[in-house]
Structure formats: structure tokens, C-alpha cells
Amino acid sequence: MIRHIIAAIATLLAIWAMVFMYQLDRESERFKQIRDIIEKTKMEVPQAKTSTPPIQQIEEPVSVEEQMKKEEDEVAKKLKSLRERAGSAMAFKVSPMYKQKCSSCHGVNGEGAVGPKLIGRDQAYVYQALMDFKSGKRKNYVMYGLLMKMSDEDLKALSKEIGTFEEKMKAAAE
């Protein structure tokens, strides 16, 4: 009898360890994605190579207003460059439910990351796919785990929101 109890405890500990390792793997994958995004957005500033020292020129005094305007223009140029390099990241706002349930795999705006791209999918297609994952008709354990406790109203709200992503992206680009 005691052997059976010990075996049951050992089995439960092994299952817990597997679940814990799975969660660590997911977190590790998220950190890799964040690192990749940071690497993609790094900017390298080319250094001008000169063989002769620059000639010093006497500059005319510049007023404080002109100096501030120059600095603001430089900051504006840098911001514009960063926006262009960032692309469509956070191009439009999404619901907290989408952020919590979907964005880690499908991207902040549905542009795809680990999971497939959602932009361009209509509401009916998305709703049917969600229902298929929830029912087990389509096999994906991550999707099943996320959807099994969600209500039909939540699935409809998510599919409606995802169905508008393409329009929102076009509006944000303008």
C-alpha cells in the first residue's frame, strides 16, 4: 500500500516537473523572440573615415532659438528613422484579451510570430478556426489549452477584432 502511495507521489512529481519544464521552454522562447526583435531594430551609425584632420572653421554665433530648432530637427529625424525601422509594430491598439491570449504567438498586431499571420483573415474564418481548435477538430494543444475555458462570446469578440486588423493596419499606415 505504501509503495503505491510513493509511486503515485513520484508520478505526480514527474508530471509537475514536465509541466514546469514546458513553461520554462515557453518563457525561454519568448525571451528569444524579444532578443531577435531587439537585434533587428538595432541601428548602426557609420563612422566617417578621414585620412586628414578636418579643417577648423570659424562659425558664426548661433542664437539659442536656432540651436534648439536644430536639435529638435535632429531628434525628429531620428524618431522618423526609428519609426521606419520599427515597421508596423504596435501600429494600432488591440484589446487586452487579444494581448493576453494571442499576441505572444500571433504578434502584437496579428502579423505572425511563432503562430501564423492573422492579418487579412475575415471574422467568419477566424471564428470557425477558433471553434475547430476548441472542439479538437483541429489539433493544436496550445490553442486548445487557451480556448477551452473561453466562452463563445469571447471567441466571437476575438474573431470580430481580428477580422478588423487589415483595415486598422491600412488606417495606421496613412
pLDDT digits over 42-62, tens only?
A: 766 666 665 666 666 666 666
Residue 56 lies in a domain: no
Helix (H) or strand (E) holding 57: none
Residue 47 lies in a domain: no
18 grid coordinates? 514536465
Q: Quick check: helix, strand or coil at residue 151? A: coil
For residues 130 and 155, is the Cβ–Cβ distance under 8 A?
yes
Residue 12 lies in a domain: yes
Provide the phi-psi class of 112: left if phi over 0, else alpha when psi is between -120 and 50, else beta.
left
Number of domains within the chain: 2
Weakest-pLDDT range from 36-40, 83-87, 146-150: 83-87
**CB within 8 Å of 45: residues ≥ 6 apart:** none
CA distance 79 to 82: 5
* Banded model confidence at residue 5, pLDDT cuts 50, 70, 90: very high
Cβ burial 11-48 (10 Å sphere, 16+ → b, else e): eeeeeeeeeeeeeeeeeeeeeeeeeeeeeeeeeeeeee
CA distance 161 to 118: 11
Residue 42 lies in a domain: no
**CB within 8 Å of 125: residues ≥ 6 apart:** none
- Can you give the CATH number for the domain in which 117 is found? 1.10.760.10
Residue 55 lies in a domain: no
**CB within 8 Å of 70: residues ≥ 6 apart:** 62
Structural domain including 32 reads 1-37
CA distance 31 to 23: 12
pLDDT, tens digit, for every residue of 59-104?
Answer: 666 677 787 788 888 877 776 655 554 444 556 788 888 888 888 8
For range 151-166, the mean pLDDT: 88
Residue 59 lies in a domain: no
CA distance 65 to 164: 45
Q: In terms of domains, do 167 and 100 share one?
A: yes
- Residue 101 has a pLDDT of 83
| pTM of the complete model beyond 0.85 | no
Q: Quick check: helix, strand or coil at residue 58? A: coil
